[in-house]
Structure 1
Amino acid sequence: MSWNAWGDPDRASALPESVRGLVASVLGVALRDASAVEESALAVPPSVLPAAARDALAAVVGPDHVDLSDAARVRRTGGKSTPDLLRRRAGDVADAPDAVVRPASHAQVLDVLRACAEHRVAVVPFGGGTSVVGGVEPLHPGFEAVISLDLGRMKALLAVDPVSRTATLQPGLRTPEAEELLAAHGLTLGHQPQSYEYATIGGYAATRSSGQSSAGYGRFDAMVLHLRAATPRGTLDLGRSPGSAAGPDLKQLLLGSEGAFGVITEVTVRVRPLPEAQRDEAWTFPDFATGTAALRALAQGGVPPTLVRLSDETETFVNAALSGGQATGGCLAVVAHEGTADQVAARRAETAAALEAAGGTCMGEEPVAQWRHSRYAGPYLRDGLLGAGVLAETLETATTWNRLPDLREAVTEALAGALAVDGTPPVVNCHISHVYPEGASLYFTVAAAGGDDPAGRWERAKRAAGDAIAGRGGTITHHHAVGADHLPWMADEIGDLGVEVLRAVKRTLDPAGVLNPGKLIPPPAPTAAAVAEAPAGDA
Structure 2
Amino acid sequence: MNELIAQSIRRSVWHGWGDPSARRPLSDQGWEELVRQVGADRTVVNPPVPIEEVQLQPSRLDSPVLAALADVVGPDHVHADRPWRVEHAGGKSYPDLHRLRTGDGSQAPDAVVVPGSAAQVAEVLRLCAEHRVAVVPFGGGTSVVGGVGAGAEVSGPDGVSARGRHRAVITLDLRRLTRVVAVDPTSRLATLEAGLRGPEIEQALHPHGLTLGHYPQSHQEATFGGYVATRSAGQASTGYGRVDEIVLGARVVTPRGELVLGGRAPASAAGPRLLDLVVGSEGTLGVITEATVRVAPLPTVKRHAAWFFPTFDAATEALRTLVHSVGHGGMPDVCRLSDEDETRVNLTLAGAAGRRLLRYAALRGTAAPSLLVLVWEGTDGGEVRHRRAVAGRILSRCGGRRLPGEVARAWERTRFSGPYLRDELMDHRVLAETLETATTWDNLRSLHAAVTTAIRSALEVEGRRAIVMCHVSHVYAAGASLYYTFISTEAADPLAQWRSVKTAACDAIVGAGGTITHHHAVGTDHRAYLAAEIGPLGVGLLQAVKDQLDPAGILNPGKLIPDPPGSAPDSAPDRVRDRVRDAARAEA
Interval of TM-score (by shorter of Structure 1 and Structure 2) = over 0.9
What is the rounded CA distance, in whole Å, between the counterparts of 1:357 and 1:17 in structure 2? 39
Shift of 1:385: 1.0
5 Å-filtered alignment, 1:487-506, equals 487-506=527-546
* Equivalent pairs, count: 528
Look up the match of 2:188. 165
1:186 and 2:225 aligned: no
Shift of 1:526: 5.9
What is the rounded CA distance, in whole Å, between the counterparts of 1:142 and 1:14 in structure 2? 44
Structure 1 residues 20-29 or 150-159, which shifts more? 20-29
Shift of 1:286: 0.7
What is the rounded CA distance, in whole Å, between the counterparts of 1:162 and 1:177 in structure 2? 18
Look up the match of 2:506. 466
5 Å-filtered alignment, 1:135-284, equals 135-139=147-151, 140-239=163-262, 240-284=264-308
Q: Is the 8 A contact 1:79 1:130 kept in 2?
A: yes
Shift of 1:29: 4.7
Shift of 1:525: 5.0
Shift of 1:44: 2.6
What is the rounded CA distance, in whole Å, between the counterparts of 1:460 and 1:417 in structure 2? 10
Structure 1 residues 90-99 or 467-476, which shifts more? 90-99
Look up the match of 2:38. 27
What is the rounded CA distance, in whole Å, between the counterparts of 1:293 and 1:304 in structure 2? 15
Look up the match of 1:322. 349
Q: Is the 8 A contact 2:29 2:348 kept in 1?
A: no
Shift of 1:9: 1.9
> Any idea what the Cα deviations from partners look like across 1:405-442, whole Å, max 9, x if unmatched?
00000000000111112121211000001010000000
1:127 and 2:128 aligned: no
Look up the match of 1:286. 310
2:112 maps to a residue whose letter is V
What is the rounded CA distance, in whole Å, between the counterparts of 1:196 and 1:448 in structure 2? 27
Look up the match of 2:60. 48
Q: Is the 8 A contact 2:35 2:41 kept in 1?
A: yes
Shift of 1:370: 1.3
What is the rounded CA distance, in whole Å, between the counterparts of 2:349 and 2:30 in structure 1? 7
1:59 and 2:71 aligned: yes
- In structure 1, runs of 5+ residues without a counterpart are 529-539
What is the rounded CA distance, in whole Å, between the counterparts of 2:369 and 2:192 in structure 1? 43
What is the rounded CA distance, in whole Å, between the counterparts of 1:408 and 1:34 in structure 2? 33
What is the rounded CA distance, in whole Å, between the counterparts of 1:179 and 1:151 in structure 2? 19
Identity %: 54
- In structure 2, runs of 5+ residues without a counterpart are 1-11, 152-162, 362-367, 569-588
What is the rounded CA distance, in whole Å, between the counterparts of 1:511 and 1:185 in structure 2? 42
What is the rounded CA distance, in whole Å, between the counterparts of 1:18 and 1:316 in structure 2? 15
Look up the match of 1:531. none
What is the rounded CA distance, in whole Å, between the counterparts of 1:261 and 1:56 in structure 2? 23
Structure 1 residues 264-273 or 32-41, which shifts more? 32-41
What is the rounded CA distance, in whole Å, between the counterparts of 2:25 and 2:406 in structure 1? 26
| 1:527–1:298 CA distance, 2 compared to 1 (3 A) | closer
Q: Is the 8 A contact 2:139 2:175 kept in 1?
A: yes
Shift of 1:373: 1.4
Look up the match of 1:515. 555
1:68 and 2:80 aligned: yes
Look up the match of 1:401. 441
5 Å-filtered alignment, 1:407-446, equals 407-446=447-486
What is the rounded CA distance, in whole Å, between the counterparts of 1:273 and 1:451 in structure 2? 49
Shift of 1:177: 0.3
Runs of 4+ in 1 over 6 A off after TM superposition: none
> Any idea what the Cα deviations from partners look like across 1:298-352, whole Å, max 9, x if unmatched?
2222211111110001100111111102124301101011112121011111111
> Any idea what the Cα deviations from partners look like across 1:49-102, whole Å, max 9, x if unmatched?
112211221111111111111101100000000111111110101221111101
What is the rounded CA distance, in whole Å, between the counterparts of 1:256 and 1:525 in structure 2? 22
What is the rounded CA distance, in whole Å, between the counterparts of 1:78 and 1:94 in structure 2? 9
> Any idea what the Cα deviations from partners look like across 1:432-483, whole Å, max 9, x if unmatched?
0101000000000000111212221110011001000000110000000000
> Any idea what the Cα deviations from partners look like across 1:105-163, whole Å, max 9, x if unmatched?
11111111011000110000000000000000103231011111000000111101111
What is the rounded CA distance, in whole Å, between the counterparts of 1:224 and 1:166 in structure 2? 9
